[in-house]
């Protein structure tokens, strides 16, 4: 009985598709690109807040204004594209 279960397990492993190294590299590139866009967008938003604070907005109002601008333009910090 244990041999039958072991054979079934081995056959199931054969059926499962293996990921090719190229596919893994592509997935890594996609993840890196998404993270890069997220970081760049965050840096741009910080710069916008700094500009608004320099124009005598309070820190809190500047943050709200930047968030509202991102929301109105249809983007957020989590979207990529």
- What are 11-61's pLDDT values in tens digits? 777 766 666 677 778 888 888 898 888 888 889 999 999 999 999 999 899
SS3 call for 39: helix
Report the C-alpha gap between 75 and 31 in whole angstroms. Answer: 19
Q: Please state the rounded mean pLDDT for residues 63-79.
A: 65
Report the C-alpha gap between 68 and 50 in whole angstroms. Answer: 16
Q: Which residue has the higher pLDDT, 13 or 7?
A: 7
* Cα 41 versus chain centre, distance: 12
């Amino acid at each position: 009985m244990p041999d039958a279960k072991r054979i079934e397990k081995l056959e199931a492993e054969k059926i499962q598709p293996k990921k090719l190294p190229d596919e893994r590299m592509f997935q890594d590139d996609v993840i890196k690109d998404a993270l890069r866009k997220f970081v760049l967008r965050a840096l741009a938003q910080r710069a916008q807040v700094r500009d608004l604070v320099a124009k005598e907005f309070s820190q809190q109002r500047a943050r709200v204004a930047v968030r509202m601008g991102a929301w109105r333009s249809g983007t957020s910090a989590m979207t990529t594209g």
